[in-house]
Structure formats: C-alpha cells, structure tokens
Chain A
Amino acid sequence: MSHSSVLLQMENLSVTYFGPPDVVAVHGVTLDVKRGEILGLAGESGCGKTTLIGALTRLLPDNGEVTHGRIEFDGVDWLGLNEREVDQWRWTRVSLVSQSAMNSLNPVISIGEQITDAIFAHEPRTPKADGWDRARSLLRMVEVDPSHVHSYAHELSGGMRQRAMIAMALALKPDLVIMDEPTTALDVVVQAQIIHEIRSLQERLRFSVIFVTHDMSLLLSIADRIAIMYAGEVVEVGTRSILNHEASHPYTRGLIQSFPSVFHQRTRAGIPGAPPSMVNPPSGCRFHGRCEERMAVCSVYAPEDRDLDGIGHRVRCHLFGDSGITDRQPLAGRGEGSGKSC
C-alpha cells in the first residue's frame, strides 16, 4: 500500500534498558520517514541513536525493551509482529548497513556467498545460477567489479567493502535502508564517492534511507530532512534547508557551530560541557546544563514539541514554548506554530 507518503511512523517511542540501573535510552521520540527520502539522524555518542535503530530493526539487546509508544511500518504495527514475521520483513522491507563493514562481513565466506545467502533464504526457489547473477549485478550496481563475488572481505579495500555492504542491503529491494555511520571509517574522498553512490541509487530505486551520523556537515550535504537527537530525545527536526538556515534549538545551533569550515576562517566555539549521563538525565530540559540561553523554567519543566512553521519544523525547547510558562516570545519572523504538538 503505497498510498500514504509516510513509510515509517514512530509515535512517542521510549526504550529502556533494564539494569540495575534502568536506563531510558530513548525518550518520547516521534518521528516519521517519508517514502523515497533520506532522513538524517544526528547526535553524539550516547544520545540514543543506536538504540533507536535497535528498536526500528527489532534488534535490541535482551535487556532493552520498547516501554512506550508505537512504530508503524507501512501501516502495520511493527512492534506487534512476531519474530517469524519480522524475519520475513528483514532484507525485503528493511535492511541495515552498519558502520564497520570489516566487522559485519563474514571473513571466511566470499562476498557472493553472503549476498546470495540473503537471496536464497528469502526466495528459496531461486535457481542457484540466478542468485549468483543477481549478486554480480548488485556489485556492478555499486561499481564494484563483479568478479569480486568470489573475493573475501580482506581482499577488498575499505571503500569496496562498504559498497559490498550496500549492495547486500539492496539485494531484496527493501523499502527502507538504515545506514548507521556508513562512512565514518572511510576517508573523505571515498566518503564522497559512497555518498554520491547512495544518492544516485536512492534516486533511481526510490527507497527510503535513515542515515545516522554525528557529522552535521555531512548531513547538511545529503539528507532531505534531519532529526537532531540529544540525550535520548529528538530535539529538532526539519528539512535540510531549514536546519541550514533556521536551526532553532540551541543544541542544533551549537552542533552546527562545532564544525569549522575549510573555506571560511572564523572562530568557532563548540558547546561547553559534555553530554549528560543517561543513568540520571538532567531535570527539565536535558540540555539546560550546557545551554547558553537557558531560562529559569528550563531546569524545572521538560519542554514539549512545537511545530514552528506548521509543516514539520519541530523543536523541543522553551524558547519556542507555550507562552504560559515562559515570558520569552518566539523569535521574530516566526509564526506562532500550528499549536499541534505531534
């Protein structure tokens, strides 16, 4: 059913790791992924982005559990599916490209065997030769010489390995590919090649991508929309151009300021302090301890999501909050927001 433009919808999602101590690693995340878009998910280590992916792929560790909220995948209650159903959806509907291809590829099985393994598992009636032909054409698609179907991971360069991982993720034409820092282990030049590859494949095959990284400058170059995570929450989400020109949450602005530019010499400050411990998250707004614009209210009440432009630029910050709590007016030039707190 490709009627709705939304492929994946997370509603008020919380994930807890049961301890002791219990840690709420993802807290009240509402986020959607539209068909055919690249959604960037940015955040520092420990902000909960890996946990969120764990929930989306149903690959949370044993002590991790979705304790609140729901995930709807193409209209289906994703968390309600049983293990067998989830297995059928893996590769065919959702696939994952992880950060370190070296650790994800099996070192003692050839690349081709790993690609065909997924094909034969899901389509057991595929003739053997056809499966291998598909593996070759998948490699060709990501611009790896098809003769490498018989190569082992260690015989490929870092960039080629990551391409092979992408080929594998696309083997069964999934609707959603989750990419967890797919280029962090690579050099900028190889990174640019892979990013270009992902973009052109995605434009051709129209799958959706969740692209996870801590590199804001990379996301601002490739994502259609970007969600910013901090301490387990999505604090801002908006289109690439909105975040590039009108980033609103102080954390987002600080994060963008944390990247020096090659082409402009200017002083950059970064963000004071360090991300909080998730065992005892701060009261009120979780960013208040590091925020240079904090108000009295920030340490007491947790801010709610606010849609600033009525079309999805959402911010969780008292600066744009309910006027009943704070005396600060929204920034000049901004609408009052639609009032819906989605």
Chain B
Amino acid sequence: MLESEQQSRTVALRAEALDKVFQVSGSARVTRGLHAVNHVSLTVGAGSVLGVVGESGSGKSTLIRLIAHLIPMTGGDLWLREIPVPRRLTRSALIRYRRRVQMIFQDPFSALNPYYPIQYQLERPLKNFRLVSGKGEMRDAVAKSLEEVGLAPAADYLMKRPHELSGGQRQRVVIARALIAQPEVILADEPTSMLDVSIRMSVLNVLERLQQDLGLSYIFVTHDLASARYLADHLLVMYAGEGVEGGQTADVVDEAAHPYTRLLLSAVPEPTREVPIGKPAVAGEPPDLAQLPTGCFFHPRCPQAMARCREEHPLPRTVKNEHWVACHLYG
C-alpha cells in the first residue's frame, strides 16, 4: 500500500500492453486486422519527458491517441497516478481525464478554429472544465497562459485570429490552450515538425521551460531522434507498432542495443560526424502492418538476424538498470 502511494508520486502515467487493431477492408470485402500498436508498455515519471521515436507507420501517433482516449484501444491497461483508467469512460469521467491529460497536435494550422479569436479558444477549456469563476479570473488565466508560452504582452494576441499569427505563434497558442487546463500530463505529437526550422528550437525550449517550471510530464512523439534527445530523459523506440528498446535517453543513444535503434542512429544526418552518410547497413522498408512478419518484426531487415528471429518473437529484457531491449541477441 505504502509502496503504491510512493509510486503515485513518482509515476505520472503508466500503460501496460496497449493494443490497437484497425479493421481495414481489403480486396473482395475481406476485412483484415491492421496491427497499429502491439503490446506497448510505457511509464512516464512525474515531471519527466518520455520521447517516443520511430519511423512513420511505427504506431507512435496511434499510441498517444490511445493514451489520450481519442480512439478506443483494443487491449491493454492505463493508469494515471497509479489509479486505473477504465477502457471505456463515462462522459464526465472522460472530461475529468482530458483535463488532466492534454494533447498538443502536430499541425497548428488545423488545431485552432480559424473563426474565433485566440481569447475565445483559450477560454473554452476554462469553461468546459469549470476551472474559473467569474470574468476577471478568466481574463487573468488566459493572459497568464499566453505569457507563459512567450506571447507577451498577452493583450496583443487576445483578439487576433489564427491566420494573423505565424506558425510558431500558433503552436504557442496550442501549447497555451493545453496548459490552461492545468494538466499533469501533456501528449505532444510531433509539436515542431510543421514549423519553420529556425523557430523549432524556440518552441522546444518553451516546452522544456514549462516542464521544468510547472513540473509537467510529457510524452513527446517524434521521428526526429535529435529533438527527442534534446527534450526527453527517457526514450521508447518503436518499430512496426511495438516498443523495441527503451530506457534513459543517454543509455539508449550512447549504448544502443537493438539493431534497429543502431540503424536509426546511423541514418541521422550529423554534420559533426564529418563523413557523409554511408550506405545504411540494411535495405528494405518497414513491414505492412496488416501482414506482419513471423518472429521478430525486424528480422527481414536485420543484419544480425538468426534462425530463431524468424520463429520466436523476442520479449523485452533488461540490459542494465532501466535500459531494456526486445532482441534475441541479448539472451
């Protein structure tokens, strides 16, 4: 009992064996199961950032949509502060959950309603979640959230509509809207990939400062290992809908164990490496999620594949401390 109380202070959100199978119609009216997320488990520490990295189609966006309760999961369990979150939530429970777990979307151009001024969009969460009483309090909360994301003075932005703001400013508004609900966990789906490169860092830095100042926890989904390294203290590497490696960021990057993680790292353009990008150790592309390979999903591309990899699906094994890998090379 005591132990779990302590855990609830250190663990913000935990997921166990999350599954998502989409039914897609194939030829001749046969529906097939598309396994977008396969048995993914993760833990986000209170006040820490979990980076989820993978190629497109690796299931990373589906994963956080499951956690956000935007789409129903087909299997698995979820805990918020170690309290189980039922797979089906009543409307009022869903509203309570959404207040505590907020989402930042990839595209700030479509995440804001073009019709309404910024003030209205930031007041919506306050009203929906009944967080303030009275107009004065509402005004203060809106102004404070804008200033927290670096849009100061807030008065300059309140009456603007989204089209009057730049991409970076819009994404800051999206962040402010997530913050204003006073969430415990923020789910960020590629929050900088639609932004101009010169302003990406400033948005990443805003996210980092808020996380430190407010003690927030993030799940930060990205295909860009470098920005995951920048922001996250833990990483989860996904391939074909499942987690293949995880642990503290420095361990996963510096002592990458899974052949796929090593492949990803070797493919990242890194100017300081001086040698131009070489030929990647493997050819091929990720598998069709409706026709997953037998055994390890990575074996058709893996330079170190053994007979066993074709038959037996590897289970996660601890490398050291929190660092784990799902690969037969490690026992």
A: residues with CB less than 8 A from B are 44-45, 143, 157-160, 187-193, 195-196, 199, 214-218, 220-222, 244, 251, 254-265, 268-275, 290
Task: Evaluate contact between B276 and A262: CB separation under 8 angstroms.
Answer: no
Q: A187: nearest residue on chain B (CB-CB)?
A: B55
Contacts of B271 in A (CB 8 A): 216-217, 220-221, 244, 256
Q: B280: nearest residue on chain A (CB-CB)?
A: A192
Task: Evaluate contact between B268 and A271: CB separation under 8 angstroms.
Answer: no
How many inter-chain residue pairs (CB < 8 Å) link A and B?
A: 134
Interface residue B56 (Cβ < 8 Å from any Cβ of A): yes
Contacts of A264 in B (CB 8 A): 272
Task: Evaluate contact between B199 and A189: CB separation under 8 angstroms.
Answer: no
Contacts of A192 in B (CB 8 A): 266-267, 277, 279-280
Task: Evaluate contact between A196 and B198: CB separation under 8 angstroms.
Answer: no
- Whole-angstrom distance between the Cβ of B44 and the nearest chain A Cβ: 20
Cα distance A274–B276 in the bound complex, in angstroms: 31
The listed residue (A190, A196, A251, A257) touching B279 by CB distance below 8 A is A196
Contacts of B278 in A (CB 8 A): 196
Task: Evaluate contact between B197 and A189: CB separation under 8 angstroms.
Answer: no
- Whole-angstrom distance between the Cβ of A246 and the nearest chain B Cβ: 13
Contact residues of B between 262 and 290, Cβ < 8 Å to A:
263-273, 276-280, 282-283, 285-286
Task: Evaluate contact between A44 and B277: CB separation under 8 angstroms.
Answer: no
Q: A189-B263, A259-B226 are in contact. Are A217 and B270 (CB under 8 A)?
A: yes
15 A–B pairs (Cβ distance < 8 Å), ordered by A: A187-B55, A187-B223, A187-B286, A192-B266, A216-B197, A218-B269, A220-B271, A221-B273, A254-B198, A258-B198, A260-B230, A261-B272, A262-B229, A270-B199, A274-B196
Task: Evaluate contact between B197 and A255: CB separation under 8 angstroms.
Answer: yes
Task: Evaluate contact between A45 and B196: CB separation under 8 angstroms.
Answer: yes
Q: A262-B229, A270-B205 are in contact. Are A193 and B198 (CB under 8 A)?
A: no
Interface residue B167 (Cβ < 8 Å from any Cβ of A): yes
Contacts of B277 in A (CB 8 A): 192, 195-196, 221-222
Q: A44: nearest residue on chain B (CB-CB)?
A: B196
The listed residue (B169, B227, B267, B280) touching A260 by CB distance below 8 A is B227
Q: A187-B56, A193-B279 are in contact. Are A157 and B272 (CB under 8 A)?
A: no
- Whole-angstrom distance between the Cβ of A236 and the nearest chain B Cβ: 14
3 tightest A-B CB contacts, nearest first: A270-B201, A220-B271, A192-B267
Query: What sequence of 0s and 1s flags, for each residue 200-225 of chain B, a beta carbon within 8 Å of any chain A beta carbon?
Result: 11101100000000000000000101
Contacts of B276 in A (CB 8 A): 199, 221-222
Contacts of A217 in B (CB 8 A): 226, 268-271
Task: Evaluate contact between B223 and A188: CB separation under 8 angstroms.
Answer: yes
- Whole-angstrom distance between the Cβ of A263 and the nearest chain B Cβ: 6
Cα distance A273–B203 in the bound complex, in angstroms: 11
Contacts of B31 in A (CB 8 A): none
Interface residue B47 (Cβ < 8 Å from any Cβ of A): no
Task: Evaluate contact between B197 and A274: CB separation under 8 angstroms.
Answer: no
Contacts of A290 in B (CB 8 A): 198
The listed residue (B169, B200, B266, B283) touching A270 by CB distance below 8 A is B200
- Whole-angstrom distance between the Cβ of B111 and the nearest chain A Cβ: 18
Task: Evaluate contact between B55 and A270: CB separation under 8 angstroms.
Answer: no
Task: Evaluate contact between B199 and A274: CB separation under 8 angstroms.
Answer: yes
- Whole-angstrom distance between the Cβ of A277 and the nearest chain B Cβ: 10
Contacts of B272 in A (CB 8 A): 261, 263-264
Query: What sequence of 0s and 1s flags, for each residue 151-172 of chain B, a beta carbon within 8 Å of any chain A beta carbon?
Result: 0000000000000001111000
Task: Evaluate contact between B267 and A215: CB separation under 8 angstroms.
Answer: no
Interface residue B319 (Cβ < 8 Å from any Cβ of A): no
Q: A187-B56, A264-B272, A274-B166 are in contact. Are A215 and B197 (CB under 8 A)?
A: yes
Q: A188-B55, A268-B230 are in contact. Are A260 and B253 (CB under 8 A)?
A: no
Most chain B CB neighbours (cut-off 10 Å) among A45, A190, A260: A260
Q: A273: nearest residue on chain B (CB-CB)?
A: B199
The listed residue (B229, B266, B283) touching A261 by CB distance below 8 A is B229
Q: A220-B271, A268-B230 are in contact. Are A214 and B197 (CB under 8 A)?
A: yes
Q: B265: nearest residue on chain A (CB-CB)?
A: A262
Contact residues of B between 98 and 119, Cβ < 8 Å to A:
none
Q: B286: nearest residue on chain A (CB-CB)?
A: A187
Q: A143: nearest residue on chain B (CB-CB)?
A: B283
Contacts of A220 in B (CB 8 A): 269, 271
Cα distance A192–B169 in the bound complex, in angstroms: 32
Task: Evaluate contact between B279 and A260: CB separation under 8 angstroms.
Answer: no
The listed residue (A159, A187, A215, A268) touching B201 by CB distance below 8 A is A268
- Whole-angstrom distance between the Cβ of B300 and the nearest chain A Cβ: 13
Contacts of A221 in B (CB 8 A): 269-271, 273, 276-277
Cα distance A233–B302 in the bound complex, in angstroms: 45
Cα distance A82–B199 in the bound complex, in angstroms: 42
Cα distance A289–B271 in the bound complex, in angstroms: 28
Contacts of A189 in B (CB 8 A): 55, 263-264, 267, 280, 282, 285
Contacts of B166 in A (CB 8 A): 274
- Whole-angstrom distance between the Cβ of A139 and the nearest chain B Cβ: 15
Contacts of A257 in B (CB 8 A): 201
- Whole-angstrom distance between the Cβ of A304 and the nearest chain B Cβ: 24
Task: Evaluate contact between B55 and A215: CB separation under 8 angstroms.
Answer: no
Q: B202: nearest residue on chain A (CB-CB)?
A: A270
Cα distance A160–B253 in the bound complex, in angstroms: 29
- Whole-angstrom distance between the Cβ of B161 and the nearest chain A Cβ: 17
